[in-house]
């Protein structure tokens, strides 16, 4: 049935909106993954919970590993790769994308010898895994117990890491381990220097713990790793002893943008499958797309795809320009894109009816897979915790911002190894300053409204007792901030007057403008409700 392959064959919002030209290597992988036989095999692997060994080998034969090479790996390409994989299947997508995630600490701080080792191992067919989480401590990495103890000429590693993507099958292990014993005072600031990142080649003293059966991403190898006195030389330390936790924080400031790209793939798949089905399904003598309610779901699907795609692309461009310094935008993208992708999948579910729930058809997999994105790599709560720190300054005015926005989109792909090692330069001009400058340059009314919302948010949120005392209130404000960042990215990448103002050529598909204007009106009302809700909550506290 034609519609069941739509998600594998469409041109995604990420691709349509990206300022960077298409890349032949990424396009080759995209073409391979659009073949009917490959799409069927990806579906079968998910149904059986089987690791995608053969598909990986075929992707590698088409040059996949080159995209992760330390001298090349860059966020615009990785964003496209991640999106196109997620459209075909979450299990395959996270199995591949974990290489970029795991290798980020090496790109950001690894020695030349470590970068060369990674390149050799990847070319020989190895995959990487990132070992942060421990079951007992979840989001709080500073409580980790798995340890590295100094020995003559190196370290001995002990302890378990859990819920590790590639815990059984991946050979190049990047592990966060305790190098200073836990103090009794529980002071989290002191604990920051107690951890070190190690690059470990899987060997006989590394035990794979049983694989978990997960609701999403069933073909991925989510398991555990036990170090049983694993000896490693001292040159397996990434950066230096004690720098592991700050380096993980930098890593996550980049990787959050990658999760936004996974969400963009999910939103595109929901749009493609929803539209494909509605065009074919005939229960009253015409396609159901003609029914008013279905037409609204379809309009929302298109709108959500554009917003999620725009914000994922912007996060990739910002990281390409500012490295981990773009962490604020990456966190906003992770939160908003994951939320809106879940919503897109729900809109599509309403279009597909029963066919969304049949395991033999692709939509059921999409429903399951999309649940993951807001949970791993820092949960949505943690994103809101980060974003809430930026709410008080969201309404501030400051230096002119348009030149930096233009630079962000104009910068050609740069290796993370290069951009991530530049002196720390956070990219955090306020939302109000950025939208005011763009509104003036583009003469754009929707952007002017974003500036006004940003000022209202900052004023309304912060001058309250609830802001100081209630985490839920701060998170509600941070949610509005993240929504506004999604709308601003949509303006910049999909409205012709804004594209011109930020130095971009006309959009590839004029339909994106129509969908963007629909999104700005629809989701703008949601922002207003969010601001009203903050005011109403103030009365309650
Ligand atoms: C499929 C899959 C793949 C994974 N891959 C990897 C991997 O490759 N490597 C790896 O290291 N880990 C991996 N993980 C682990 C994942 O990153 C953690 O599950 C995640 O970080 C959250 O930990 P937790 O589930 O234990 O939640 P907990 O930390 O126990 O949190 C429970 C709840 O409390 C909330 N919460 C936590 N802190 C706060 C706070 N400060 N304020 C408000 N609310 C808060 C959380 O959002 C959550 O809702 C994977 C997990 C899954 C499901």
CA angle 234-239-245, nearest 5°? 110
Hunting for tokens 């069933």 — which residue is that?
A: 218
Q: Are strands 172-178 and 222-233 parallel, antiparallel or unpaired?
A: unpaired
User: Can you give the pLDDT at residue 184?
Assistant: 62
Q: Which of 96, 98, 139 to mutate to test the pocket of ligand 1 (most atoms within 8 A of CB)?
A: 139
Q: Ligand 1: does its nearest atom lie under 6 Å from the Cβ of 130?
A: yes
Q: Ligand 1: does its nearest atom lie under 6 Å from the Cβ of 163?
A: yes
> How is residue 418 written in tokens?
């290069």
**What's the gap in Å between 250 CA and the centre of ligand 1?**
18
Cβ(209)–Cβ(225) under 8 Å?
Answer: yes
CA–CA separation, 84 vs 489, rounded Å? 20
User: Can you give the pLDDT at residue 185?
Assistant: 60
Residues 6+ apart with CB under 8 A from 164: 129, 130, 131, 133, 222, 223, 224, 225
The more confident residue out of 423 and 245 is 245
In this predicted structure, the answer to whether residue 538 has a pLDDT above a threshold of 80 is: no
User: Can you give the pLDDT at residue 382?
Assistant: 98
Give residue-wise pLDDT tens across range 304-358: 999 999 999 999 999 999 999 999 999 999 999 999 999 999 999 999 999 999 9
Give residue-wise pLDDT tens across range 415-451: 999 999 999 889 999 999 999 999 999 999 999 999 9
Ligand 1 atom nearest the C-alpha of 165 is 8
**What's the gap in Å between 252 CA and the centre of ligand 1?**
13
User: Can you give the pLDDT at residue 462?
Assistant: 79
Cβ(111)–Cβ(235) under 8 Å?
Answer: yes
Which residue owns the Cα nearest ligand 1 atom 28? Answer: 138
User: Can you give the pLDDT at residue 505?
Assistant: 96
Least Cα distance to 64 among 99, 91, 38 occurs for: 99
In this predicted structure, the answer to whether residue 518 has a pLDDT above a threshold of 80 is: yes
Q: Which of 131, 140, 145, 163 to mutate to test the pocket of ligand 1 (most atoms within 8 A of CB)?
A: 163
Q: Ligand 1: does its nearest atom lie under 6 Å from the Cβ of 131?
A: yes
541 pLDDT tier (thresholds 50, 70, 90): very low
Give residue-wise pLDDT tens across range 277-289: 999 999 999 999 9
Global pTM? 0.98
Tell me the percentage of the chain whose pLDDT exceeds 70. Answer: 99
Which residue owns the Cα nearest ligand 1 atom 45? Answer: 381
463 pLDDT tier (thresholds 50, 70, 90): confident
User: Can you give the pLDDT at residue 537?
Assistant: 83
**What's the gap in Å between 192 CA and the centre of ligand 1?**
19
Tell me the percentage of the chain whose pLDDT exceeds 90. Answer: 94
Q: Ligand 1: does its nearest atom lie under 6 Å from the Cβ of 102?
A: no
In this predicted structure, the answer to whether residue 540 has a pLDDT above a threshold of 70 is: no
Classify 165 as helix, strand or coil.
Answer: strand
User: Can you give the pLDDT at residue 460?
Assistant: 84
**What's the gap in Å between 335 CA and the centre of ligand 1?**
14
**What's the gap in Å between 204 CA and the centre of ligand 1?**
29
What mean pLDDT is reported for the chain?
96
First to last CA, the chain: 55
Give residue-wise pLDDT tens across range 54-73: 999 999 999 999 999 999 99
Cβ(12)–Cβ(268) under 8 Å?
Answer: yes
Give residue-wise pLDDT tens across range 109-158: 999 999 999 999 999 999 999 999 999 999 999 999 999 999 999 999 99
């Amino acid at each position: 049935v034609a519609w069941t392959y739509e998600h594998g064959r469409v041109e995604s919002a990420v691709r349509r909106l990206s300022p960077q030209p298409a890349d032949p290597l990424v396009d080759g992988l995209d073409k391979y993954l659009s073949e009917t036989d490959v799409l069927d095999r990806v579906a079968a692997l998910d149904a059986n919970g089987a690791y995608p060994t053969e598909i990986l080998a075929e992707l590698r034969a088409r040059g996949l590993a080159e995209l992760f090479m330390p001298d090349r790996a860059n966020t615009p390409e990785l964003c496209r790769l991640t999106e196109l994989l997620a459209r075909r299947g979450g299990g395959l997508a996270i199995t591949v994308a974990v290489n970029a995630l795991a290798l980020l600490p090496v790109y950001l701080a690894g020695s030349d010898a470590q970068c060369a080792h990674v390149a050799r191992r990847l070319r020989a067919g190895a995959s990487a895994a990132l070992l942060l989480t421990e079951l007992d401590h979840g989001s709080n990495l500073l409580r980790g117990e798995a340890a590295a103890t100094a020995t003559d000429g190196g370290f001995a590693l002990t302890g378990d890491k859990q819920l590790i993507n590639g815990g059984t099958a991946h050979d190049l292990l990047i592990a966060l381990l305790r190098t200073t014993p836990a103090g009794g005072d529980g002071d989290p600031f002191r604990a920051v220097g107690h951890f070190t990142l190690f690059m470990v080649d899987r060997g006989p003293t590394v035990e794979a713990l049983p694989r978990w059966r997960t609701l999403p991403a069933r073909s991925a190898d989510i398991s555990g790793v036990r170090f049983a006195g694993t000896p490693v030389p001292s040159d397996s330390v990434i950066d230096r002893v004690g720098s592991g936790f700050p380096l993980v924080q930098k890593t996550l400031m980049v990787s959050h943008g990658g999760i936004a790209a996974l969400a963009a793939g999910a939103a595109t798949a929901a749009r493609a499958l929803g539209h494909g089905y509605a065009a074919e399904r005939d229960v009253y003598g015409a396609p159901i797309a003609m029914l008013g309610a279905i037409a609204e779901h379809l309009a929302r699907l298109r709108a959500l795809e554009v917003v999620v795609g725009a914000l994922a692309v912007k996060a990739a461009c910002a990281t390409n320009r500012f490295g981990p310094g773009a962490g604020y935008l990456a966190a906003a993208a992770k939160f908003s894109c994951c939320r809106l992708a879940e919503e897109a999948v729900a809109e599509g579910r309403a279009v597909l009816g029963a066919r969304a729930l049949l395991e033999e058809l692709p939509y059921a997999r999409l429903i399951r897979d999309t649940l993951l994105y807001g949970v791993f790599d820092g949960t949505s709560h943690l994103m809101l915790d980060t974003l809430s720190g930026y709410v008080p300054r969201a309404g501030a005015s400051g230096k002119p911002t348009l030149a930096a926005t233009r630079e962000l989109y104009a910068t050609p792909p740069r290796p993370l190894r290069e951009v991530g090692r530049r002196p720390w330069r956070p990219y955090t001009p306020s939302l109000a300053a950025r939208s005011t400058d763009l509104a003036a340059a583009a003469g754009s009314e929707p952007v002017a409204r974003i500036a006004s919302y940003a000022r209202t948010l900052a004023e309304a949120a912060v001058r309250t007792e609830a802001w100081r005392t209630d985490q839920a209130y701060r998170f509600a404000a941070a949610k509005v901030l993240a929504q506004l960042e999604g709308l601003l990215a949509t303006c910049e990448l999909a409205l012709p007057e804004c594209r011109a103002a930020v130095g971009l050529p006309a959009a590839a598909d004029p339909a994106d403008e129509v969908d963007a204007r629909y999104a700005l009106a629809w989701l703008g009302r949601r922002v207003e409700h969010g601001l009203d809700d903050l005011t109403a909550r103030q009365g309650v506290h």
